[in-house]
Amino acid sequence: MDNENNMSFIKRKPVFSKKIRESAKGQECQVRIPGVCNFDPSTTVLAHVGRGSGISQKCDDIHATYACSHCHDAIDGRTSLGDQRLIRLNAYEGMLRTQVILLEEGLIEVPSACK
């Protein structure tokens, strides 16, 4: 296999951002798992949604969502509350909503393709 087809196996350090992590403080939970979410912004943290390139490795901070403590526990599997497929779906939808917030706050930038 060439390197282009084998990109998922290349080990690299995940991209961490102190500003993105700190931006989660006081935010509304973007995951909102029915019957799980505590809707308490004082418990919100940046919860990683995807997996990194290695075993037990976290993904980049842009692959994360603002999550309350209960939703974070569900995402990380520390609780058996809820259907795992629904938890994953809510986590990824939360990641999309979080990325919009990060774009609006200027914490992530996408170079414009149209000038």
How far is Cα 107 from Cα 110, in angstroms, rounded to an integer?
10
Q: Say how many C-beta atoms besides its own lie within 10 A of residue 49's C-beta.
A: 21
Q: Say how many C-beta atoms besides its own lie within 10 A of residue 59's C-beta.
A: 15
Catalytically active residues, by annotation: 48
Q: Which domains does the chain have, with CATH numbers?
A: 13-104 (3.30.50.20)
Tens digit of each residue's pLDDT (9 = 90 or more) over 80-98: 777 889 999 999 999 999 9
The token duo for 70 is 């209960």
Tens digit of each residue's pLDDT (9 = 90 or more) over 29-75: 999 999 999 999 999 999 999 765 445 567 889 999 999 999 999 99
Q: Determine the straight-line distance between the first and last CA of the chain, rounded to whole angstroms.
A: 38
How far is Cα 52 from Cα 89, in angstroms, rounded to an integer?
18
